[in-house]
C-alpha cells in the first residue's frame, strides 16, 4: 500500500515537472500569450479586405531594407531582408 502511494505521488510530481518545463523552457508561455492576443484582436472587419494601399510606404520599406542590407558586413548573410 505504501509503495503504490509513492508511485502515485511520483507520477503527479513528474507530470507537474513536465508541464512546468514545457511551459517555461520550451515556449508554452509564449503560445498562451499569442493565443490571448489572437483572441483579443477583432479582425472580423478586415476579412473582406481585398485591396492593398500605401504604395509610398512600400517604397520606403524597400529603401530601408536596401540600406540595412548594405550595412551588413557579409552580403550573403542569412539576416538579409527582402
Q: Where are the domains of the chain?
A: 1-43, 52-82
| Long-range CB contacts for residues 32-36, cutoff 8 Å, separation at least 24 | none
pTM comes to 0.36
Angle between helices 28-40 and 2-24 (to 10 degrees): 60
Nearest to 61 by CA among 35, 31, 81, 34: 81
Write out the chain's pLDDT in tens, 82 residues.
556 777 888 889 999 999 888 888 887 777 878 888 888 887 766 676 666 667 777 788 888 888 888 887 665 545 555 5
Q: Collect all residues with Cβ–Cβ distance below 8 Å to 23 and sequence separation of at least 6.
A: 29
Cα–Cα distance list, 82 to 66, 74, 77 (Å): 8, 15, 12
Amino acid at each position: 500500500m505504501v509503495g503504490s502511494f509513492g508511485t502515485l505521488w511520483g507520477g503527479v510530481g513528474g507530470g507537474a515537472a513536465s508541464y512546468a518545463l514545457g511551459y517555461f523552457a520550451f515556449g508554452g508561455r509564449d503560445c498562451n500569450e499569442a493565443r490571448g492576443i489572437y483572441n483579443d484582436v477583432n479582425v472580423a472587419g478586415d476579412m473582406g479586405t481585398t485591396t492593398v494601399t500605401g504604395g509610398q510606404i512600400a517604397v520606403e520599406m524597400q529603401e530601408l531594407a536596401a540600406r540595412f542590407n548594405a550595412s551588413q558586413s557579409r552580403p550573403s548573410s542569412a539576416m538579409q531582408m527582402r
